[in-house]
Amino acid sequence: MRFSELLDRLAYPAGELIRRSFERVGFGDVDELVERSPRDFLAKLAFLLNSEQEAKLFVYMVAKILEREHGVLIDADRWLGAFERGDAGFVRDWLGRLDSLLR
């Protein structure tokens, strides 16, 4: 599942807004960035939000919504940590799992 698609499923039109915001300021394809370098995504989101803390909260809340509203057993701290460390494998693995878990 693409990250922007996940955001739209959780809180439409969040994915579309993030995607267009990244394109508008020249950051490129948000989905490719998340899958290639979650740390760079987090840094660019912090730039857009003018707050590193708000960017981290946004990423953390994605996992919390998955847990609480969709019953997905994902550790929000590990999810955020993967973005902070730039663990693209962890993020891609979860995006792949979510494709079937949210169907």
- DSSP secondary structure letters along 47-89: HHHT-HHHHHHHHHHHHHHHHHHH-----HHHHHHHHHHT-HH
Tokens of 9: 């499923």
Structural domain total, the chain: 1
The confidence score (pLDDT) of residue 38 equals 99
Residue 102 DSSP symbol:
T
Average pLDDT, the chain: 97
pLDDT tens-place string over residues 32-71: 999 999 999 999 999 999 999 999 999 999 999 999 999 9
Contact in structure between 7 and 14 (CB atoms under 8 Å) = yes
The confidence score (pLDDT) of residue 71 equals 96
Expressed as residue numbers, the domain containing 52 is 3-101
The confidence score (pLDDT) of residue 22 equals 98
Confidence grade of residue 101 (pLDDT, cut at 50, 70, 90):
very high
For residues 39, 69, 77, 103, the Cα torsion angle rounded to the nearest 10 degrees is -50
Q: Is the pLDDT of residue 103 over 90?
A: no
